[in-house]
Amino acid sequence: MRQLSGHDASFLYSDTAQANANVTFVQIYDQGTAPGGTVRFKSILAHIESRLHRSPVFRSKLRRVPLELDYPWWVEDEHFDLEYHVRHIALPAPGDWRQFCIQASRIHARALDLQRPLWEIYVIEGLDSIDGLPRGSFALLTKIHHAAIDIERHNEIVEVLHDTTRRPPRPLPPAPWFPERAPGAAALMLRGLLRTLRSPLRLAAPLARLAPATRAFVAFTRDLQRAEQVTATRFNSVVSPHRVFDTRRFLRSEFDAIRRLVPGATVDDAVLAVCAGGLRRYLAAQGELPQADLAARCAIGGRSGEGTVTWRQLRFGTGEADPVRRLALIHEQTAAPPPDEPAEAGDGAAGGDAAPPTLPRRFGRSAIASGLGLPLASCTVTPVAGPAVPMFLVGARMSYYSAILPIEDGMGLVFAVTHYDGRVIVSPTSCRELMPDPQAFTQCVRDSFQDYLALAAVAAPPLRPARRRGSAAGRPSPAARQARKAATAPRAAPAGRPRSKAPPR
């Protein structure tokens, strides 16, 4: 039996009817590499069953403490049913990419059953009309609650199910599993009361639980008072239960060429600049591009589980028409030491003295995860930990790896960034009412990437990172100036958000 940390519990507490904390990993496989060239559903089911003992996530469900006196606990599900969690479907003809994205978005949007282990896997066939995929390719959608996984640093459930070779050693038969007897409600309540009595901070549990909410309310009020300083877009609105998802894949080597436009810039800086350029293009096409820069909440570092992830609030450079200056602005911020930020409420080792956060649901995950009071942002860019080498499932080689991430009221756009097999995959998630045309949005991201690639191709002398937006830069060659002029987006509209062109709810 394991207890949730305050940080993980916050994702559970923030679930609402229209916005849950599901994370869905999207993986596509070439079954031509499997023995015999075919992978059957029963083989996948048997493979998953043989790996269940490798992670407690698979058979653990949540048991909440009465009156929320303490954080919930993971307990073993004595009625675990593998075939409930692993499902098999096929796309109807023709089985193209748009159909796949719609189906994946619908699966992602559905809430998980909180009375069972918080994961589901969907095996999806019928992808034969998707360009660039070998015939017979199939997909795995692995949906799991954010409370059960740390997507920025470690992707346990994906690692457990995959191998680094086509023919892994034959596994030993798993040991018989006998679930532990879960404690009853009275035992959990007594445990919570004893933990409360051991700490002065827990002597008045209702008041202690109210403290985080009070801090959140003060921070939320401060954010509202600063709203005039924070430029909002259509994505800073109430989200619907209907998700949209799309993706674009790029060569990492081309991002490596793009980063050289600014001395010292990293591939991650270049990815952020491309996302910012795509957002700028999309809003300009809707007649909704503010003159002021938008803010983005970005996870810096920790790509593919390496190093430490630091969440930062960045000027996204959407008000900058020059792509190179936008990259320089982003690099200047990511290279600077992170500012001191308040500690996350309730984030600590399970069993600590902090009271369980019972924030009102209207504050949402961003209020908790951003330290209770950072300014609102227009979007989030999240790296999703992924494998550093090619991976195989029952001998089928994984050819695509991405993720659909949770959104919430006030933060209706999130970019998932994955690195796999020499490619960088950028996958925005939003809701249908805020982004009725996800393919148009990802085309804007693609066009932004092509702008940078054109500039990199003419080998322009790199710009020095500018201290301020209007600082001087090195002189580019005539060819570079011509490419940069072609890459400049339409003139910005006046500040403020015009009436959204999204269809009515």
Residue 388 burial by Cβ neighbours in a 10 Å radius (0-12, 13-18, 19+): middle
With 0-12 / 13-18 / 19 or more C-beta atoms within 10 angstroms meaning exposed / middle / buried, residue 228 is exposed
Q: Give the whole-angstrom CA distance, residue 203 versus residue 362.
A: 27
Tens digits of residue pLDDT in 380-438: 999 998 888 999 999 999 999 999 999 999 999 999 999 999 999 999 999 999 999 99
Confidence of residue 190 (pLDDT cuts 50, 70, 90): low
Q: How far is CA 67 from CA 72, 118, 213, 214, 359, in A?
A: 11, 22, 16, 19, 14
Sign, CA torsion 326/327/332/334:
positive
Give the lowest-confidence range in 73-87, 292-306, 341-355: 341-355
Q: What angle do CA 110, 112, 118 make, to 5 degrees?
A: 145
Q: Which pLDDT value is given to residue 388? A: 86
Pairing outcome for strands 295-300 and 379-383? parallel
Q: Please, which residues have CB within 8 angstroms of residue 189's CB and are 6 or more apart in sequence?
A: 65, 66, 67, 69
When mean pLDDT is compared across 46-60, 112-126, 200-214, 309-323, the lowest value belongs to 200-214
Per-chain mean pLDDT for the chain: 80
Say if CB 373 and CB 219 are below 8 A apart: yes
- For the chain, the domains span 185-225
Query: What does the block give as tokens for 111?
Result: 């809430």
Q: How far apart are CA 247 and CA 311, in angstroms?
A: 23
Percent with pLDDT over 90 in the chain: 55
Describe the crossing of helices 267-285 and 438-457 by its angle, rounded to 10 degrees: 130
Q: What is the pLDDT of residue 367?
A: 37
The rounded distance, in Å, linking the Cα atoms of 176 and 1 is 18
What is the SS3 assignment for 218? Answer: helix
Residue 207 clears pLDDT 70, i.e. is over it: no
State if pTM tops 0.85: no
Per the DSSP assignment, residues forming a β-bridge with 75 are 61
Of 306, 44, 292, 47, which Cα lies nearest the Cα of 153? 306
Q: Is the pLDDT of residue 342 over 50?
A: no
Query: In sequence order, what E strands does 39-95 have?
Result: 60-63, 73-76, 86-90
Cα–Cα distance between 29 and 51 in angstroms, integer? Answer: 19
Distance from chain centroid for Cα 503: 26
pLDDT of amino acid 17: 86
User: What does the pLDDT read at residue 343?
Assistant: 41
Which residue, 330, 414, 427, 443, is CA-closest to 386? 427
User: Tokens standing for 503?
Assistant: 């269809």
- Please tell me the least confidently modeled range out of 66-70, 75-79, 209-213: 209-213
- DSSP string of 245-296? E--EEEEHHHHHHHHTTSTT--HHHHHHHHHHHHHHHHHHHTT---SSPPEE
Q: Are 47 and 393 in contact (CB under 8 A)?
A: yes
Whole-Å CA distances, 151 to 264, 302, 331 = 27, 11, 24
* Sheet bearing 73-76, strands edge to edge: 2-3, 73-76, 60-63
Alpha-carbon Rg of the chain, whole angstroms?
24
Residue with tokens 């080998």: 459
The residues that bridge with 150 in the sheet, in sequence order, are 154
Tokens, residue 122: 């969907």
Read off the pLDDT band of 7 (50, 70, 90).
confident
User: Is-contact 297 329, C-beta < 8 A?
Assistant: no
More confident residue, 349 or 120: 120
Cβ contact 421:226 at 8 Å? no
